[in-house]
Amino acid sequence: MNSNVWVLTFADGISIATTLILASLGAILTERSGVINLGIEGMLLMGAVTAFLVGDGTHNIWLALFLAVLVGMAMATVHAVLTITLRSNQIVSGLALVIFGTGLSQFIGKSVEGKPRPVRIEPIDFGALSDIPIIGPVVFNHDPITYLTWFGALIASWYLFRTRPGLVLRATGDAPATVDAQGVSVAAVRYAHTIAGGALVGLAGGWFMLARGTAWSQAATTNGIGWIALALVVFAAWRPLRAIAGAVLFGFLLQVPYTLQGQQIRIFPPEILQMLPYLATLAVLVVLSTPRARRLLGAPTMLGQPFVRDER
Amino acid sequence: MIIGRTRIELEPRLNSPKWLVVAVPLASVFLALSVGGIFLILNGHSPLHTYSKLLSSGYTTFYGITDTLGLATPLICTGLAAAFAFRMNLFNIGEEGQMYLGMIGGAWAGIALADHLPKLVAVPVVLAIGALTGGLWVLVPAVLRAKLGTSEIVSTLLLNYVALNLVNYFIFGSRGFFRDPSTSFPQGRAVSANARLGNFGTTNTYPTLIIAALLAILLWWFIRNSNYGYETSVYADSPNTARYAGMNATRLTISVLLVSGALAGLGGAMYVVGPAGKVDPGILQIGLGYAGIVVASLARYNFVAVVITAILFAGLRVGGAALQISSNPVPIAIAVVLQGSVLLFALGGEIFRRNRIRIRRIQPVVFSTGADA
């Protein structure tokens, strides 16, 4: 085993991190407004199958990603109507979306189950830059969406902490009554950010299929990445820039089992290695739950609470 | 909410009328079938033909009904597991993994212990050990939730993936205790005959169905009549009230989650005692744990309603399997699509059950000024 393998694993981890960053950015926007959407896993699957089917039919990557985004937005809209307007339980609504998305992606993807990926999002050609040791594969070997995602996290951070709408968004999650008293519609803010979050999650699913997936297989495509993204939101303390760091770490953990298998290193059986990312996520959640960490995190105060003006 | 000149208001009801309790679920099912119908048409299937075949194979023929009851048995357990935790606002969504662990624990007892025990003792021992391992699987999330406030939603869910890989490891990844040593084909080692219950006649229904149904009634009675049940009900309504009344929140949280995990584990053990007789990776494909969450939510966490809902849901799945046998097979996933949509519509329908909708016209406000007079 040489050190080069670990550089490549790290580079792969950064690549997988794109999905995690996009999905957790979506979740951060949604949760900052006070809405928790547990449906991410189902939305990722729907985004993935949409991108696959559109890519299979048209061989147009951008159209495939665009429709994946629309599907993510549509599912987020369902969640928004149920939880914001109809005040349903946000937890159960999110779970219903997971079940619905799992079933529907399997249903509409049945005809292409096992079929290889029709189109691939290619890495940008940086020429000689990609050949620089370590930095080359880690920094200069990704596709446009990956770079846009890093940039998107910067924009999201600026939006949240440096703009007025971002301030209103944070206030909506922490003190909706105050926002309401200021004459801003709590429902409008929540709708906008839940749906925008859905767009990012849809893109995450579509990108994952066309950049990382090899073939469509409902059972193996996302493999719980949506749930890891949700845990990542806590890890990132609802801050977009920290989500990048967390996503790279989790992306690396997700990639390690494959690297070890590829290198014929059999210290642990592959099934045991596959448990690693989930156990590591759990361990991180535990550390973050200690009272000291909790004070520093600052979750949106009214997360998961419907806002009703009349009930006092 | 104001649209144009009409204002839509929600007025909470004190009691929901009886007809709505029936009408809302019926409307949800109808709307879900319509949504499923759209996707069926888009995929080139006739919705009416598909649904009539789905319903008739799941609910009308003798073997259809007995298959449904057989599949409903572990589903009742996972449904009870979800209902028991959800009614206390503890969202254990790890029933899937807890059920796998129950299967593993039950199979261990069936292989290691059952040969040395009389049949009358062996089956209860297998079921008890399955429940125990299912409960232990949720121990870490339960303690974390009670002591540190770690979200049980994410922690229980993550453990589902660990449990899934554990089953795969026992059957495909290793040649250990749970793997059948007599063949190179990867399959589970059969448990002792003492640990199995016979099926009814030639059907796929097992006596465990009766145990599951009795358990539901027992839980229903227990929550209503025991001090513990009272405490969980108070805590569910208002954790603060419970705390002021001196109830031990930590103890309640941990115990409710453990019982929930044990119920799901029992479902896995019933799968061993009944149809499987071994650690069977086939259970990974059916998603009975996730379906249990849907069942519990639709039953609005009422234990007796869980039994009925589970049977209806199992019929959907049995009917879905029957759709495969056709020249133009409809993917079985249609059953899952229907489950998800029924739940989404039922959630939306709750607001109509809980509130009266008032639509009022808003009169334009006319200010009179002195000049007009």
What is the distance between the terminal CA atoms of chain A, rounded to a whole angstrom? 65
Per the CB < 8 Å rule, is A282 touching B155? Answer: yes
Query: Which candidate, B36, B44, B31, B30, places its Cα nearest to that of B337?
Result: B36
Query: Which candidate, B20, B54, B68, B25, places its Cα nearest to that of B310?
Result: B68
Residues of chain A neighbouring B347 (CB-CB closer than 8 A):
82, 86, 88-89, 92-93, 96
What rounded mean pLDDT belongs to chain B? 88
Query: Average pLDDT for residues A112-138, to the nearest whole number?
Result: 79
Sheet holding B6-12, edge to edge: B2-3, B6-12, B355-361
Which range (A234-243, A249-258, B291-300) has the least confidence? A249-258
Q: What pLDDT does residue B367 have?
A: 66
Alpha-carbon distance B237 to nearest alpha carbon in chain A (angstroms)? 15
Please count the other Cβ atoms lying within 10 Å of the Cβ belonging to residue B6: 11
Q: What pLDDT does residue B2 have?
A: 67
Q: What pLDDT does residue B373 have?
A: 44
Residues of chain B neighbouring A102 (CB-CB closer than 8 A):
287, 290, 336, 340
Residues of chain A neighbouring B344 (CB-CB closer than 8 A):
78, 82, 93, 96-97, 100
Per the CB < 8 Å rule, is A108 touching B43? Answer: yes
Number of A to B CB contacts under 8 A, please give it.
149
What rounded mean pLDDT belongs to chain A? 87
Give the type of residue at B355: N
Q: Which of B42, B157, B341 sits opposite A100 (nearest CB)?
A: B341
> What residues contact residue A11 under an 8 Å CB cut-off, 6+ apart?
A137, A138, A141
Alpha-carbon distance B178 to nearest alpha carbon in chain A (angstroms)? 15
B1 close contact with A: CB closer than 8 A: yes
Look up residue B194 and give its two tokens: 């003492």
pLDDT at position B49 over 60: yes
For the segment A60-94, what is each residue's pLDDT rounded down to a tens digit?
A: 999 999 999 999 999 999 999 999 998 888 988 99
Q: What pLDDT does residue A219 have?
A: 65
The full 3-state SS of chain A, as one line of letters, equals CCHHHHHHHHHHHHHHHHHHHHHHHHHHHHHHCCCCCCCHHHHHHHHHHHHHHHHHHHCCHHHHHHHHHHHHHHHHHHHHHHHHHCCCCHHHHHHHHHHHHHHHHHHHHHHHCCCECCCCCCCCCCHHHHHCCCHHHHHCCCCHHHHHHHHHHHHHHHHHHHCHHHHHHHHHHHCHHHHHHCCCCHHHHHHHHHHHHHHHHHHHHHHHHHHHCCECCCCCCCCCHHHHHHHHHHHCCCCHHHHHHHHHHHHHHHHHHHHHHHCCCCCCCHHHHHHHHHHHHHHHHHHHHCHHHHHHHCCCCCCCCCCCCCCC
pLDDT band at A3 (very low <50, low <70, confident <90, very high): low
The full 3-state SS of B116-155, as one line of letters, equals HCCHHHHHHHHHHHHHHHHHHHCHHHHHHHHHHCCCHHHH
Q: How many CA atoms lie within 13 A of A179 on its CB side?
A: 25
Q: Which of B140, B161, B331 sits opposite A224 (nearest CB)?
A: B161
Residues of chain B neighbouring A103 (CB-CB closer than 8 A):
333-340
Per the CB < 8 Å rule, is B169 touching A103? Answer: no
Residues B331 and B321: their CA atoms lie apart, in Å, by 9
Alpha-carbon distance A159 to nearest alpha carbon in chain B (angstroms)? 28
CB B96 within 8 A of CB B163: yes
Per the CB < 8 Å rule, is A101 touching B340? Answer: yes
Per the CB < 8 Å rule, is A95 touching B161? Answer: no
Nearest CA in chain B to A87: B351
For the segment A259-305, what is each residue's pLDDT rounded down to a tens digit?
A: 777 777 777 788 888 888 889 888 888 888 777 777 666 678 788 77
pLDDT band at A1 (very low <50, low <70, confident <90, very high): very low
Residues of chain B neighbouring A224 (CB-CB closer than 8 A):
157-158, 160-161
